Amino acid sequence: HKPTAQPYYLPYTSDHPHKYHRNIPYTALIRAARLCSNIYDFHSERLRIDMSLLLSQYPSKFISNQFLRFFQANNAMPVFTELNQQVYQRLHQQLLNRITVKEQKLNDTTKDPAKHPAVLEKKPWDRSLMYLRYPYEAGPAGTFSHEFYSWWEKHYLYPGSKMKNIKLRLIPKTNRTLANYLIQKKPPRHMLRLPEESNKQ
């Protein structure tokens, strides 16, 4: 179980290495500054973040240092020391207009097809198709897939079911061997080719 898989339950509990923990208060303040249009709403949210971090056993000095880093990095110390509304509005607009990491990656993929070939792009999620992985075992458990499909048809493919249009694919997951860890396979030929447009240039 990964605590980070359920952030709504313990928002600041993380099993990442400690060097990544410093980004959690910083990112929380960025989110608060982007969402709160009023400095007093932001101040209330900052106090809530502070309390949540303390309850999640973050050291008080660590929290203060990361909060200070946020205001210094964004040139907004008057917001931290005196609740300056004018400086906060500039900070609010600055963070709203700042491009996110996700948007930057998307821009990179559209600008440079040589670095991001179409074959490596993620395909759209097909909601009508469900993939389920299960640990494969020989012996009596070898009939699991057949039994599961029978169970699926019996309990989910009845008339009027919301799941009747969902296609199910079972994918056996085998244990990795030493060969998987030690042998590096060459990528397929089509992945090693540059797009045709790049070749023409």
Q: Which of 16, 48, 14 is nearest to 32 (CA)?
A: 48
Average pLDDT estimate for 145-163: 85
* pLDDT tens digits, 92-137: 999 888 877 666 666 666 656 666 566 566 667 777 888 888 777 6
Q: What is the pLDDT of residues 161-185, one digit of tens each?
A: 888 888 888 888 777 666 666 666 6
Q: What pTM does this model have?
A: 0.48
pLDDT of 4 above 80: no
Tell me how crowded residue 186 is: count the other CB atoms within 10 A of its CB: 7
